[in-house]
Structure 1
Amino acid sequence: MTLTHIDANAQVNMVDVTDKSPTVRSAYAEGYLDLSPAALAQVMQANNKKGDVLTIAKIAGIQGAKQCANLIPLCHPLALSKVEVNISCLPESSCIHVTSMCKLTGVTGVEMEALTAVQIALLTLFDMTKAVDPAMTMRGIRVLQKIGGKTGTWHHPDAS
């Protein structure tokens, strides 16, 4: 097995993607925040003391995707052409579901950006509601699908 992030001298190395052909690429990710019914009700009723929790988390997720290369070593900085973050409150499960989609025309995939968007949105939701429920749990953070590039389309085997 050849390690892609280690050079011939066993030093950390950012993969050279110079010679790869650009293709349209996209990735979809999701995650959940489990929280108490009281905390979820406060979010849904938009009466959190810190403001509009859902809108701020959505903006944070978009910003997170755009900052991925600054947060994760060896990720390539990407010129994203689209970032979408959607947040749904699920009272029957006492959780919040976050999904993201990142897209570009480029030489490397956008899975890390999609995951970062979800995680930053979840962290923002946690931060803004922790006074009501400090025992919240983030879970199920995963790539659902990636499209484009040399390997084509991939779907998570457990995703609907």
Structure 2
Amino acid sequence: MADDKKLSHIDEQGQANMVDVTEKVVSQRQAVAVGFVKMQAHTLDMITTGRHAKGDVFAVARIAGIQGAKRCSELIPLCHPLMLTKVNVEFSPDPEHNKVHIKSLCKLAGQTGVEMEALTAVSVAALTLFDMCKAVDPSMQIGGIKVSEKLGGKTGHWLAEHDMEGTD
């Protein structure tokens, strides 16, 4: 399918360009991102029963995810620094598939979306889970990171069409 849309971070000369959002209307915006960390059953059990030697893995990963969202513009070169009003990071253990599902929600009232912040929150939370558990399970896999929903701006309400989260 042909798409007329241009890449917004490239100017007419093909140079990297931070998008000018000065004239955009301030609106309530939010984005939800998801991902997972797949691990061995004993690793998931250690985390969920609180027997991990490093302590509460979910608490540390949650704080890391929130910090990641807040620092997104420092990590992704052309992202605007945003005044986030809400960042939430949740973990859902899935013993049937030996996974921890991660979900983040980012909100603000602003001129540009918060998808990158939500994706960064999930990514940093997943990396932190990996870091805290790598000594007992170096074969863990991080996957399925995507935007699953967004609200606000000219797009309005958008939901991901296909759920590829279960693919490894």
The normalised TM-score by structure 2 is 0.91
Instruction: List runs of 5+ in structure 2 lacking aligned partners.
Output: 164-168
Cα 1:3–1:157 change in 2 (3 A) is: closer
Alignment partner for residue 118 of structure 1, among 113, 117, 122? Answer: 122
Matches within 5 A, 1:9-158: 9-158=13-162
Partner of 1:59, secondary structure, is helix
Shift of 1:8: 3.5
Partner of 1:101, secondary structure, is strand
The normalised TM-score by structure 1 is 0.95
Q: How many residues align?
A: 159
- Quote the residue 2:166 is aligned against: none
Partner of 2:64, secondary structure, is helix
Distance in 2 (alpha carbons) for counterparts of 1:115 and 1:9: 29
Shift of 1:27: 0.4
Distance in 1 (alpha carbons) for counterparts of 2:153 and 2:24: 9
Distance in 1 (alpha carbons) for counterparts of 2:128 and 2:67: 11
Q: After the TM superposition, which parts of structure 1 deviate over 6 Å for at least 4 consecutive aligned residues?
A: none
Distance in 2 (alpha carbons) for counterparts of 1:5 and 1:89: 37
- Quote the residue 1:5 is aligned against: 9
Which deviates more from structure 2 when the two are superposed, residues 114-123 or residues 42-51?
Answer: 42-51
Partner of 1:146, secondary structure, is strand
- One-letter amino acid of the counterpart of residue 131, structure 2: D
Distance in 1 (alpha carbons) for counterparts of 2:12 and 2:147: 31
